[in-house]
Amino acid sequence: MLYREAGQFKTTYSADMAIFPIRQDRIALYALLVFVFIGVPLLARFQIWPLGSDYMLRAILIPFLILSLAAIGVNILIGYCGQISLGSGAFMAIGAYSAYKFGTGIHIPLAWFGTEISIAPLPLIVSILLGGLMSAVVGILFGVPSLRIKGLYLAVATLAAQFFFDWVFLRVQWFTNYAPSGSVNAPELSIFGYLINSPIERYVLCLTFVTVFALIAKNLVRGNIGRQWMAIRDMDIAAELMGIRPLYAKLTAFAVSSFIVGVAGALWAFVYLGSWEPLAFNIDRSLQLLFMVIIGGLGSILGSFLGAAFILILPIMLDQIPHALGIPVGVETVSHLVFVVTGSLICYLLIVEPHGFARLWSITKERLRLWPYPY
Amino acid sequence: MLRKTLAVATAVSAVFSGAGILMSAGPAMAQNEQFIPGLVYRTGPYAPNGIPFADGVSDYVSLINERDGGINGVKLIFEECETGYATDKGVECYERLKGNGPTGAAYFSPLSTGITFALTEKVPGDKIPLLTLGYGRSESRNGAVFPWNFIAVGSYWTAADVAIQHVAKELGGFDKLKGKKISLVYHDSPYGKEPIAALEARAKLNGFTFKAIPVTHPGVEQKSQWLGIRQDRPDYVLLWGWGVMNSTAIKEAAAVAYPRDKIIGVWWSGAEPDVIPAGDQATGYKALLLQHPAGEFGVHADVKKSLFDKGKGVGKATVATVLYNRGLINSMLGVEAIRTAQKKYGNKPLTGEQVRWGFENLDLSEARLKELGFEGMLKPIKLTCTDHQGADLARVHQWDGKAWKVISDFYTADRSVLDPMVAEHSAKYAAEKKITPRDCSKEG
């Protein structure tokens, strides 16, 4: 009844091509943006339920935002371009370690030439973006095989990236600034001299990154390049015959995807963990991101958020249910139950709706348009 | 269509009910209670070692409540959170538990070097001490730079130094170390890498050849490493493993016929779950002791009387094992720190900052340890502002196929070797983090 577009006439091309052509959607989105940018920090500032302690911000919202960003990146590659990748964790690691190197200053002694490359520590935002750029460069490199190998074979090739970079960041001490333990600490987070320390500031920083990149990603996939990606995904031979260059389309998908994943990796390391080791970006992280996009919905920006919420937050919630209800069970039983319940829910959802949460969401919207009539 | 509606309904209700529970996490607490969090791992590849330690930690807190009615009338509230030894899960648990109780968490003991590194960045902001009993950042001994870290009783550098001392003793003197080959088989994580700096320093000092051999997490695959050892034939192998990696290492050593009595494990590689799975192959294997051995001491009688006989406590299956005993010591140090702080701040629930003062002024004499029932487990220990470790002692024990036997007297780590390293690395950390070290002479 409320959600109906009857009477909304589009008189310009730009109105027709808006991201959200339906007015109710736009209003909902603006309301959401106002809430997350102003409402959440205000609630947290005055410690109003549900943000009474900084647990919600620091342990739920910040990791959720960062992993959503990573999931958007993975979704561009897997969901939009159809190139299965198991190396997302590695690209996060490249983003994190490159940002760390840029943030703490780079010294490459070139003894043979009697000189050295020396870069002073760069500001936070620049080093995070450069971390993404490094990740994009490596992404293009590892995307080259995708021109020859397809499907699951490509997944195995990207798996090589995962293990290779695990090894590099463990073994090559230059990346960790020769830390004796191999664990590195993020430099302090400051933007133009303003120190980012409190959870609210960290949340706003992540939120800004996520909003900007989600907007960029959404516009990319709606535009020319996004259509090329989707054509390649649906049938690469047909796409080629239609004049789409697979080299360009596939490599741009790898580049954009790795860039976003790399930025997410840098945020994960700098803003969420603060101190990390390569284990933070191991194969489990890659698989976690893959599950996020599959459950959230392949080829959907919204799905990346929903998938990230499901994979990240559901286990944490399940973990706390017995304690919150006052049921005396051991932590080991709870964590086994979490595995069982999460696993069964994933199976159930994928059987009922193989296209993930994004599809469920669009079905709900269809229904809402008709409501209260059945047809 | 009905099924899809059902799916939507399931998803929506799951999100909402869960969100409700997440957000309701702010229960009302009685006022005279001190909250102690437990970051534990009772699942995953490290569970065989995580369980006995967690049992010991939990039982000592229960003992204080059951036997004494709390610390000077302040009841202890204990809650566990499962980390699975994963750093990001550990950080989530820390955020979940740090604000519980009327005054927040008294202190955290993550029992994981990775989680310790991550929390080291967070505790100064939240003002909660981090008690890392024999693990964590070795340079955090320097309390001037690491005010919130308490690496009580021993660091990995202490362990590395004592291990070399024991090798020297077996060989018949430090001069005999010259030209010998000593290899380190380590868990490829901050935990395993910590001792390398100290061992390299010792290698330079004593003239032996040192080689570090990494094993990837979780450590079930180490055939190639031990084949390399068979070729290389080092005189001694030091083992820095955790969880299932330890028993695997012993089995692989047996497979390449490397003598087990030439392997010396760190104190995290010297408990029952490390040797029992290897069966007879483990006989002769040696490991360091973080002072205390397995077995029963004064405190165990109280645990039995006040907990097990009344059907309480969780550690009936693991009592008196090496790691259970270490768990008891962990909680005892925490409880005594709270007690010390109560002398200054009064017998009421204390904040993390106040408990930190308690840790920094913790002074356990021989008589006090006897009173607590820890005589024979721990030597007197005194923490100060400059020294957050407080002890440099370790022993060696050997598995005889049935039980651990203490085979050495106490060794004292050579601080003339280790102190410059602590100073150097903590200065580097301070510079990196822009920390101005505290002036300890002005601390009250």
- The span from the CA of A271 to the CA of B432, in Å, is 17
- Confidence (pLDDT) at B27: 45
Same fold, B33-155+295-392+423-442 and B156-293+396-416: yes
Is the pLDDT higher at A62 or at B6?
A62
Q: What's the CATH fold of domain B156-293+396-416?
A: Rossmann fold (3.40.50)
* Token pair listed for A41: 């920090």
Residue of A nearest to B38 (CA): A331
Mean pLDDT of chain A: 91
- From the list B79, B84, B95, which residue is nearest A335 (CB)? B84
For residue A142, what are its two tokens? 């590892």
Q: Rounded to 5 degrees, what angle do the CA atoms B101, B104, B110 make?
A: 110
Predicted pLDDT at B25: 45
Which residues of chain B have a CB within 8 Å of the CB of A329? none
- A62-74 and A301-308 are packed helices; what angle lies between their axes, rounded to 10 degrees? 140
The whole-number average pLDDT for the span A235-254 is 94
Q: Do B42 and A331 touch (CB under 8 A)?
A: yes
Please report the residues numbered 267 through 306 in chain A whose beta carbons come closer than 8 angstroms to any beta carbon of chain B: 272-277, 279-280, 282
Residues of B in contact with A353 (CB under 8 A): 4, 7
pLDDT at residue B257 greater than cutoff 90: yes
- pLDDT value of position B10: 59
Give the nearest chain B residue to A341 (CA atoms).
Answer: B14
Most confident of A70-74, A165-169, B67-71, B313-317: A70-74
Its CATH class, for the domain covering B33-155+295-392+423-442, is alpha beta
CB B369, CB B294: distance < 8 Å: no
| Residue extents of the structural domains in chain A | 19-52, 53-365
Residues A103-118 have a mean pLDDT of 83
Per the CB < 8 Å rule, is A357 touching B189? no
Which CATH fold topology does A53-365 show?
ABC transporter involved in vitamin B12 uptake, BtuC (1.10.3470)
B17, pLDDT greater than 70: no
Helix (H, G, I), strand (E, B) or coil at B104: coil
Q: What is the ipTM of this complex?
A: 0.88
pLDDT in tens, B98-136: 999 999 999 999 999 889 999 999 999 999 999 999 999
What are the residue ranges spanned by the domains of chain B?
Answer: 33-155+295-392+423-442, 156-293+396-416
pTM: 0.90
Query: What are the structure tokens assigned to A304, written together?
Result: 């990346």
Question: Which residues on B lie below 8 Å from A320 (Cβ)?
Answer: 21-22, 25, 96
| Distance to chain A for B12, nearest Cα, Å | 11
Q: What is residue B22's predicted lDDT score, i.e. its pLDDT? A: 52
* pLDDT value of position B144: 94
Mean pLDDT, to the nearest integer, of B175-201? Answer: 93
- pLDDT for B30 equals 58
Please report the pLDDT score of residue A163 as a whole number. 93
3-state secondary structure chain A: CCCCCCCCCCCCHHHHCCCCCCHHHHHHHHHHHHHHHHHHHHHHHCCCCCCCCCHHHHHHHHHHHHHHHHHHHHHHHHHHCCCCCCCHHHHHHHHHHHHHHHHHCEEEEEHHHCEEEEECCCCHHHHHHHHHHHHHHHHHHHHHHHHCCCCHHHHHHHHHHHHHHHHHHHHCHHHHCCCCCCCEECCCCEECCEECCCHHHHHHHHHHHHHHHHHHHHHHHHCHHHHHHHHHHHCHHHHHHCCCCHHHHHHHHHHHHHHHHHHHHHHHHHHHHCEECHHHHCHHHHHHHHHHHHHHCCCCHHHHHHHHHHHHHHHHHHHHHHHHHCCCCCHHHHHHHHHHHHHHHHHHHHHHCCCHHHHHHHHHHHHHHHCCCCC
For residue B130 the two structure tokens come to 């981090």
What pLDDT, on the 0 to 100 scale, is given for residue B160?
A: 96
Length of chain B: 444
Q: Is B172 left (phi over 0), alpha (psi -120 to 50) or beta?
A: left
Give the per-residue pLDDT at B8. 58
pLDDT higher for A330 or B241?
Answer: B241
| Cβ contact, residue pair A182, B432, below 8 Å | no
B 418-437 residues inside an 8 A Cβ radius of A = 425, 429, 432-434
pLDDT of residue B24: 47
Q: Please give the DSSP secondary-structure letter assigned to residue B406.
A: E
pLDDT in tens, A197-220: 889 999 999 999 999 999 999 999
Q: Alpha carbon of A14 to those of A5, A19, A260: distances in Å?
A: 17, 10, 27
Helix A124-143 to helix A152-171 angle (10° resolution) is: 130
Is B122's CB within 8 Å of A274's CB? yes
Res A76: pLDDT: 97
Read off the amino acid at residue B326.
Answer: R
> Band of the pLDDT at B329, cuts 50, 70, 90?
very high
B181 Cβ under 8 Å from any chain A Cβ: no
The pLDDT of A124-134, averaged and rounded, is: 96
Average pLDDT, chain B: 91
User: What is the arithmetic mean of pLDDT over B82-101?
Assistant: 92
Q: Residue A1: its pLDDT value, please? A: 65
Looking at CA atoms only, how far is residue A49 from chain B in angstroms?
A: 7
B259 pLDDT higher than 90: yes
